[in-house]
Chains A and B, each alone.
Chain A
């Protein structure tokens, strides 16, 4: 794909295309509000004249399809852009439709379909939109839950960011405290553990901390049920990581995360010492180091 790109920039096709479109090579910066997963290469985003996102796609895959049909890279690129421009709606139109339908199930389905067509680009800003416009919908609580589900999906597929995981955990915990008997509550407990705590140190312990207020004798039956579910999920996650560790070699991918998830303080510190932290993992590794050191201090 890198070689394919080299064919693209000096091409006459690109010059011709610039008559119809403003074109920007954004380097490593994605447009604000449109997250692209860390270390993903070569994406195309097409905005309409009102600045609304009409399409987004991984360019390598899209160009390969054209090249396989015998097109040159530059012609395949023009074809991708023209096809993107024909998409029937923008992300912002789908968002407006959701609000104008007062948050109907059909409009939410259409919004999710649009996000899937965009390969999830714009998912985090849509999660924000759902939370901010919840009061204007017929079922504001459901709208907030939908926002959290999209936020979890964005964290799971696109955004590896320490702050995003913390925000997701806070959001789900707040929702579950207020609406423990909501029909999305069980699913949100699962997302709290699977996504919100994917990069947490000692997941079983974290789940017990989160569940503590809901396990109190004064808590409602719904909260106590959620607490039991959360603790069980945390224990199962730690057990699964422990099982994976048994068959892992010292330098296997994901071993460090599994050690952290299990709360293995000494082994986590040893593995961190042998690992170079970079990019989005720096704050995550810093948290693991601090938590592991604290645990060892307490043991002494």
Chain B
């Protein structure tokens, strides 16, 4: 029971870690481009791609 609860508690963290590990961002493309410009990074935008289609 305790182990199950611990797993449930960790799920959001696991999801967060997984999102952090992805080599890309998803959504809010204008905020993404503003951040890339601020940090002087060249940026690639893939339009009509999301986690499912990609």
Contact = CB atoms under 8 A, between A and B. Distances in A.
A26 B42 contact: no
Interface residues of B, number: 29
B37 A25 contact: no
Contact of A9 (B37, B42, B54): B54
A21 B41 contact: yes
Interface stretch (A47-55, A143-151, A273-281): A47-55
Interface string A259-300: 000000000000000000000000000000000000000000
Contacts of B42: 20-22, 46-49, 85
Interface string B9-48: 0000000000000011111111011111101111111111
Contacts of A59: 46
A36 B49 CA distance: 13
Given A22-B42, A26-B47, A2 B33 contact: no
B47 A36 contact: yes
A26 B23 contact: no
A45 B44 contact: yes
B44 to A, nearest CB: 5
A220 interface: no
Interface string A29-45: 11110001000111111
Contact of B43 (A14, A23, A42): A23
Nearest to B49: A25
B47 A30 contact: yes
Interface in A108-149: none
B25 A25 contact: yes
A17 interface: yes
A25 B43 contact: no
Contacts of A8: 54
A32 B44 contact: no
A51 B37 contact: yes
Contacts of A26: 27, 29, 32, 45-49
Among all A-B residue pairs, the 6 with the closest Cβ atoms: A18-B23, A51-B37, A26-B29, A9-B54, A23-B24, A43-B47
Interface of A: 2, 5-6, 8-9, 14-15, 17-18, 20-32, 36, 40-51, 59, 81, 85
18 contacts: A5-B53, A9-B24, A9-B51, A17-B23, A21-B43, A22-B32, A22-B41, A25-B46, A26-B47, A27-B49, A44-B45, A44-B47, A46-B44, A47-B36, A50-B40, A51-B33, A51-B37, A51-B43
Given A47-B37, A49-B40, 15 more contacts: A5-B53, A5-B54, A14-B24, A18-B23, A21-B43, A22-B25, A22-B39, A24-B32, A24-B33, A25-B27, A29-B28, A30-B47, A31-B45, A48-B42, A49-B36
